[in-house]
Structure 1
């Protein structure tokens, strides 16, 4: 198979790295190199940031909010029109199932269209100042150059919730694609000029740590929007100190999936399967910690194990496939180490627990019963199809167990008791709580975490305002001259 060669997008032009360095990307379904991407230098990053900074005062800066919205709407339309081709590329690069990537590209277009509609809804306010000769109002201005750093696992979605509000508010952006799977964002970049977005407004650079450090510490970056792991996030926060950039962090999760004894078992089992085995568990909101009431645990686990053992694992391009491969060999190595440690600490593997007998980076759907709350695996994000199981007897007990984590991104609660669902949604420490459903999203609804799962919110109107700075304007309406405070009496 011919290897696809990509370039970076800087100031509206496709280019290689300054020193010509490149790196390969592997198709996780086959283990073969399929594409080749530039390894950006600090010089390349600087060119991208300079282009974004210049674009703030160029044609983009002269556009009205309505005109910016029209550009975003066209970009969303183009994404929907090209969803199949971009989905194929994303599946090849990441191993995510094609039926998921193609659908996501179409749905993500709705996010861009939401922000298109929000562009001319950004407004300030008048203030009731107690000075009759003063008129005081606020307005919202773009922050400036945005550095967006996204991981490979849901890169189209995680880019859209940064690009959309940033551009709607009038900012420009430099997007760093993941070094593990850069091609989908570079394909997306081909649509930017077609949408009528001026050169330099959207720039896409590719590379690893050198590229990331140069971008997040650049003195002309005004805000960093980062999605990834907590270790990398700590570097980002330290880098931001160099330029006093604002920072938003959407980090990992170890989300509790809580099933009470009055839950609809069939629905809860299906939700649990989708929550942990969907996307091969490679989701920051994966429901990776199952808490099931002791009275229904045996029945629930019997159904759950049966489904897990019959999940169709295979080629992510095949519509019959239900679970594809992991993206990197490093994930498999990490998962195997954690499973071995869990068994050593008393865990019981109910199903799975090893790589699937297939060529490529496949791992079996895995369920592990965890008798001790001290087990390391209970608060270690695996980013794979591994579910831990703990039993509980009371509401207070499961709240304590669910909150016993450094993470706080999402939670799922399954119960028919509406009062309990409200109590639980208040008591569980998470930025997103789903009741009798899981992984539901909308451009209208913000998401984000607490504790080590980050801070700041993405999606919704709140995120648009997060890409603006308020300015307060005082106007003296009096014709009288201002008194000279230094005049001698």
Structure 2
């Protein structure tokens, strides 16, 4: 499977990855940083002083420099925010769907008007190139608009006489106060995925953004302040160990919704279980890409080139694990390495067409590099990339590794710009190996055979299965995981049901 046309700097190697030797396209001038209000937001007001007095340094991952210092909250701020959300709940829940829809449409329009600043904040806080920030902000706005429209329709059983002389009807009611914990990789988009349906149903919110990337969430708060009633949306900055734990174990919270790691999901579940609080968990993934013998290799290589490295691989559904039939594996590897060679590590301000950004924070950079080094130490072959540089920012080259199918890297989430290639001889073997992971979020299969596509798709134990594509994520379709990838649905009309409770009312009208 050794590529025949890889550039000399990316020749296959089993040597340990090196650091400090990465080429980065640097911008002459960084974006102008216009920070949002760096504070908690409780009861419709910014709360600047944290009761604990601690703060977190938010960094520019492309350069490693400090952007801002954000106050860290404690359980006291969580208590205040939950009280504010509980106070606002009754009036918000009683509003008609049309009223709530109107406000969500206003919020979407205000976000759209603020697109440039939101993209700039996302670029500086996450190091994302223009294509990624453009997609993130546009998708977040679309999510608010979709939920604002879809939330005005019902998805329940029709009212009717299912018992003689008794008319049954179903009411969809808000759950109450929702605690939300959102991740560092898609700070605004994941807020939109959770916030839009929960608000549309009539819930009030206490939200903890990642302390690593809070800036676009804090900007969203500034925008929402003049649109949403006080207490409907509250934000407490802080760590998972402090604010996240206080939120998930709070007796005044009716559901905890998390996007994060499996470890974080387990922590939230344990805390929530004490009060039998509902949970909505979108956790990790290890997405296999099955290449059957008749796969269109050009299409597959182009797809993995994009879906494996989008957002520098910091994506729970990334096409990170290629399981290729032995008859096509070598040719595919060559095509993928040639494609990956087009990427340019670049500051977010540069205009590189195939730009790849940094890892978002230092501790995760170390984890990604440890994963690459560990695989190479166990015998993996570096087909391209493999090097890192944390001298100014947190950069990892786009990396393709040839590995054995039983190597630990094929089962554990790297969450970085790393794609592995392994081979199989039998279709059943490929499916078994793809399913032999704790995750069940996204997968794909490439084949020209419709029957094979359906057979394999049905056999794959993943919530989203793509055929001859990867990461097709229309707002109209649900995104949800199986196994340790969690439960609950983001996107689509199904998300509205997840943030609601159903009540059966039976009316006896016998005379």
Q: Could you say which TM-score interval applies, normalised by the shorter chain?
A: over 0.9
Residue 330 of structure 1 pairs with residue 379 of structure 2: no
Q: 1:359 to 1:460 in 2, by over 3 A?
A: same
* Cα deviations by residue, 1:100-140 (Å, 9 ceiling, x for unpaired): 113321222111111111222136532433332x3332211
Alignment RMSD = 1.7
TM-score (norm 2): 0.90
* Aligned residues between the structures: 475
2:33/2:121 contact within 8 Å kept: no
1:200 maps to 231
Q: Which residue of 1 aligns with 2:335?
A: 303
Equivalent residue in structure 2 for 1:415, among 425, 443, 447: 447
Residue 348, structure 1, aligned to residue 381, structure 2:
yes
* C-alpha distance in 2 between matches for 1:436 and 1:103: 22
Cα separation, 1, equivalents of 2:85 and 2:489: 23
Tell me which of 95, 109, 115 is aligned to 2:127. 95
| Structure 2 Cα separation of the partners of residues 123 and 447 of structure 1 | 18
Corresponding residue number in structure 2 for 1:486:
none
Structure 1, unmatched stretches of 5+, are: 480-489
CA separation of 1:226 and 1:357: change in aligned 2, threshold 3 A: closer
Higher mean displacement: 119-128 or 335-344: 119-128
Aligned counterparts of 1:478 and 1:292: Cα–Cα separation in 2: 66
Which residue number in structure 2 is paired with residue 482 of structure 1? Answer: none
**Aligned to 2:463, which of 405, 408, 431?**
431
Q: Determine if contact 2:132/2:310 at 8 Å carries over to the other structure.
A: no
Q: What is the CA–CA distance in structure 2 between the aligned matches of 1:219 and 1:418, rounded to whole Å?
A: 51
Q: Deviation of residue 255 (structure 1)?
A: 0.5
Unaligned runs of 5+ in 2: 1-31
Q: Say yes or no: does 1:135 pair with 2:178.
A: no
SS in 2 for 1:57: helix
In the alignment, which residue of structure 2 is the partner of 1:384?
Answer: 416
2:265 matched residue in structure 1: 233
The counterpart of 1:26, out of the listed 56, 59, 63, is 59
Indicate conservation of the 8 Å contact 2:326/2:423, yes or no. yes
Report if aligned partners of 2:93, 2:174 keep a CA contact under 8 Å in 1: no
Cα offset, 1:435, TM superposition: 1.0
SS at match of 1:156: helix
For 1:152 and 1:171, the matched residues in 2 are separated by: 24
The offset of 1:478, in angstroms, is 4.0
Partners of 2:41 and 2:143 in 1: CA distance: 22
- Distance across 2 between alignment mates of 1:383 and 1:53: 37
Partner SS, residue 147 of structure 1: strand
Spell out the pairing of 1:38-187 with structure 2 (5 A cutoff). 38-58=71-91, 60-122=92-154, 124=156, 125-132=158-165, 134-187=166-219
Shift of 1:264: 1.9
Kindly indicate whether residue 36 of structure 2 is the aligned counterpart of residue 36 of structure 1. Answer: no
Per the normalisation by structure 1, the TM-score is 0.93
Offset of residue 29 of structure 1 = 0.4
The alpha-carbon deviation at position 332 of structure 1 amounts to 2.0
- Displacement of 1:358 in angstroms is 6.8
Q: Quick one: higher RCO (CA 8 Å, sep 6+), 1 or 2? A: 2
Residues 397-416 of structure 1: matches in 2 within 5 Å? 397-416=429-448
C-alpha distance in 2 between matches for 1:322 and 1:3: 24
1:366 matched to 2:399? The reply is yes
Distance 1:461 1:123 in 2: 8
CA distance in 1, matches of 2:349, 2:85: 36
Tell me the SS of whatever aligns to 1:269: helix
After superposing the two structures, state which structure 1 stretch, 258-267 or 208-217, moved more: 258-267
Q: Aligned equivalents of 2:445 and 2:374: distance in 1?
A: 28
